[in-house]
Amino acid sequence: MSGSFLPERASGRRSWTPGERLTGRLPDPAPDPSAPTIGVLALQGDVIEHVRALHRCGANVVQVRSAGDIAAVDGLVVPGGESTTIGKLLERFGLLHPLQERIAGGLPVFGTCAGMILLSDELDQDRPQPLLGGLHVRTRRNAFGGQRDSFDTRIEVDGIDGGPIDVAFIRAPRVEAVLADDVEVLAEVRGFPVVVRQGPLLAAAFHPEVTGDDRLHAAFVATVRGAAGFAPSGTAT
Amino acid sequence: MSDTNDTSTGTTRVKRGLADMLKGGVIMDVIDVEQARIAEQAGAVAVMALERVPADIRKDGGVARMSDPEMIDSIVEACSIPVMAKARIGHFVEAQVLQSLGVDYIDESEVLTPADEANHIDKWGFEVPFVCGATNLGEALRRLSEGAAMIRSKGEAGTGNVVEATRHMRSIAGMIRRLATMDEAELYVAAKELQAPIELVRECAETGRLPTVLFTAGGIATPADAAMMMQLGADGVFVGSGIFKSGDPELRARAIVEATTNFEDPAVIAKVSRGLGEAMVGIEISTLPPGEKYADRGW
């Protein structure tokens, strides 16, 4: 019956991230069976920037909005956004405990800004808010001040070759205290840790995802490859 | 490892970057500390501090101005999330005052009575970022050329009627889709017709979106309203009178947050829409007296 036009609704539910709708969706790269699948927590925040950075680093990416999305991921990125909002939504949508269990089981996680706050065991504030925890640090929110004090800078990060990375600190947090010996401080600003690693957990107080410098994402993808038993990528730097 | 590097504040990147962090979220109008706490508890990504919500500005009439600095201070103190505040269109001194108070974003807003009938604020000179309203793409791009770091649809604030926000979102998104089909020669004509700089027009055509985050505002009253705006392409939602003029603000605030996150999932929207109590009483746009359509303010 070639040649006859039979109108049909497109099959499958389209899915998009805020901001993508105007263009229609950027096509995802075809899944690569030799690459790990990394989830980006997609409750609120700059999700699409992380999705693109991870694609550029050769990972398969899924957006995590419910507990059902967690099983398939080899690693997780907790994006920038508003930590109080993301924390409350983690609780309300039943993601908090399942993710805490995966983190306790060794799931590699990379958190930026709000993500660093959510990965912290403790916060330097009286007001309680839901946290994923797992990273043995005490973090202070908005530690550099309000938006007027937000800044661009370049910083050297231990273990990241190729010179300083170009980053944006936006109402950024910082680590006030390291609570265990296995936490490595990889970079500091004004005397406070802003990049820390503890085994498979990596956290940055700034946003590498908004500046297009993918070296931290590439390092995280390499960690996930190792943890999930994938061969190292030939192309990642 | 080093912490001796030069830093720069007030850059376009950190201004637009804060708006990026608000994506997928709800920004709520609040008039006091108690409402700010309710908003934060409900999961707002930011609050807009103002003395009267648009529905009351509409009711009271008279000249609407920047809020009392004391009131803004008290909300900045009480909140750990970003605080925005409104300056009148063209009132650069109100903007200077708001910057000195340390607010995180200034809304140069048509909800307040304009202070200049020709000029908007030159926003490049400020360290604090600005969000501005727009009814169409040309207006959005003119605001960006003046230095705005975030755009929102104007909608028709204080009406609880989403129809104008729908019109503005469809207008902006539709025009961007048309630009994407044009060749270079046609883009110059489009820039002329849009009364907007060719560089920004070309960027929209190439990327298929605005150069900054685009939120919706003006008339959002229900979780379904918020989700509809998200499906039309908004990056996030402002809710003004819709929350604190409703029967149960706490419940409604939470429901709108959850619907905004799950804007593609009707089952979630149905679930959170149950038993919310009364929505704000709306106003049919055609019954507004002449001169009281806020979206007509701004140029």
Predicted confidence (pLDDT) per residue in A137-160, tens digit: 999 999 999 999 999 999 999 999
Which has more confidence, A237 or B245?
B245
Find the residue in A nearest to B6 (Cα): A153
Location of structure tokens 């889709």? B177
A5 assigned to some structural domain? no
The answer to whether residue A190 sits within a structural domain is: yes
Residue-wise pLDDT for A31-88, tens only, equals 899 999 999 999 999 999 999 999 999 999 999 999 999 999 999 999 999 999 999 9
Cβ-proximal residues to A107 (8 Å cutoff; 6+ apart), any chain: A73, A75, A76, A99, A200
Residue A13 placed within a domain: no
Residue B232 · residue B173 · CB < 8 Å:
yes
Residues of A in contact with B20 (CB under 8 A): 46, 49, 80, 210
Position A120 in a domain: yes
- With a cut of 90, say whether residue A237 has pLDDT above it: no
Contact A148 B17 (CB under 8 A): no
Q: Which residue has the higher pLDDT, B53 or A14?
A: B53
pLDDT band at A9 (very low <50, low <70, confident <90, very high): low
Per-chain mean pLDDT for chain A = 90
User: For chain A, how many structural domains are there in total?
Assistant: 1
- The CB-side HSE value for A178 (13 A sphere, CA atoms) comes to 17
**CATH number of the CATH domain containing A151:** 3.40.50.880
DSSP symbol at A135 = E
The pLDDT, as a whole number, for residue A24 is 47
pLDDT value of residue A231:
87
Of B3, B13, B76, the CB nearest to A191: B3
Q: Which of B4, B12, B14, B272 is best to mutate for the A interface (most A CBs within 10 A)? A: B14
Categorize the per-residue pLDDT at A13 as very low, low, confident or very high, splitting at 50, 70 and 90: very low
Residues ≥6 apart with Cβ < 8 Å to B123:
B95, B108, B130, B146, B147, B148, B149
Residues of A in contact with B21 (CB under 8 A): 45-46, 80-82, 113-114, 170-171, 207
- Residues of A designated catalytic: 113, 207, 209
Q: Cβ A23–B264 below 8 Å, yes or no?
A: no
Within 8 A by CB and 6+ apart from B169, the residues are B153, B216, B229, B232, B233, B234
Query: What CA–CA distance (Å, rounded) separates A110 from A108?
Result: 7
Q: What is the CA radius of gyration of chain B?
A: 19
Contact assignment for B214 to A19 by CB distance below 8 Å: yes
pLDDT at res. B10: 94
Find which of A113, A152, A161 to mutate to test the B interface (most B CBs within 10 Å of its CB): A152
Of the candidates B7, B207, B261, which has its C-beta nearest A153's C-beta?
A: B7
Residue A21 covered by a domain: no
Note whether A202 and A223 are within 8 A (CB): yes
Do B260 and B267 contact (CB within 8 A), yes or no?
A: no
Domain range for A68 is 33-228
Contact B261, A65 (CB under 8 A): yes
Q: Would you call B86 exposed, middle or buried from its count of C-beta atoms within 10 A (0-12, 13-18, 19+)?
A: buried
Query: Tens digit of pLDDT for each residue in A93-138?
Result: 999 999 999 999 999 999 999 999 999 999 999 899 999 999 999 9
pLDDT at B6: 82
Q: Sheet holding A135-140: strands in order across?
A: A120-123, A135-140, A174-178
- Among residues 69-88 of chain B, which lie with CB inside 8 Å of chain A? 76, 80-82
Sequence-distant (6+) residues with CB within 8 A of B230 are A18, A21, B216, B236, B237, B260, B263, B264
Catalytic: B154? no
β-sheet bridge partners, residue A165: A155
For residue A164, give the nearest of B5, B45, B263 by CB distance: B5
Q: What is the pLDDT of residue B67?
A: 96
Chain B, nearest residue to A41 by Cα = B261
Instruction: Walk along chain B (299 residues) in steps of 10 and give the mean pLDDT of each run.
Output: 71 95 97 96 97 90 94 95 97 98 97 96 97 98 97 94 96 93 95 97 91 95 96 94 93 97 95 92 87 89
- Minimal Cα–Cα distance from A173 to chain B, Å? 12
- Whether residues B233 and A19 touch (CB distance < 8 A) is answered with yes
Predicted pLDDT at B279:
85
In this complex, the residue of B9, B25, B234 whose CB is nearest that of residue A82 is: B25
Under 8 Å CB-to-CB from A198, ≥6 apart: which residues?
A: A135, A136, A180, A182, A183, A184
Cβ contacts of B283-291, under 8 Å, gap ≥ 24: B283/B58, B283/B158, B283/B159, B283/B160, B283/B161, B284/B161, B285/B156, B285/B159, B285/B161, B285/B163, B285/B164, B288/B156, B288/B159
Would you say the ipTM is above 0.90? yes
Is residue A10 predicted with pLDDT exceeding 70? no
Residue of B nearest to A187 (CA): B1
Whether A180 is in a domain gets the answer yes
pLDDT the model gives residue B4 = 54
- Taking CA–CA distances from B128, the nearest residue in chain A reads A148
Residue pLDDT, tens place only, A177-192: 999 999 999 999 999 9
- Determine the pLDDT at residue B280: 85
C-beta neighbour count of B70 within 10 angstroms: 8
**Chain B interface, best mutation among A82, A88, A116, A211, by max B CB count within 10 A:** A82
Indicate whether A8 belongs to any domain: no
**Where does residue B117 rank: exposed (0-12), middle (13-18), buried (19+ CB within 10 A)?**
exposed
Q: Do B232 and A18 touch (CB under 8 A)?
A: no
The predicted pLDDT at position B292 comes to 86
User: CA of A174, closest CA in chain B: separation in Å?
Assistant: 13
Does some domain include residue A1?
Answer: no
Residue in A19, A80, A153 nearest the CB of B235: A19
Q: Return the biggest CA–CA distance within chain A.
A: 72
Residue B110 touches chain A, beta carbons under 8 Å: no
pLDDT score of A212 more than 90: no
Nearest alpha-carbon partner for A205 in A195, A197, A215:
A195
Q: Are A199 and A136 in contact (CB under 8 A)?
A: no
pLDDT at A195 over 80: yes
Contact with chain A for residue B57, Cβ under 8 A: no
Report whether B197 contacts B145 (CB < 8 A): yes
What are φ and ψ of residue A145, in 5° steps? 115, -165
Is A25 a residue whose pLDDT tops 80? no
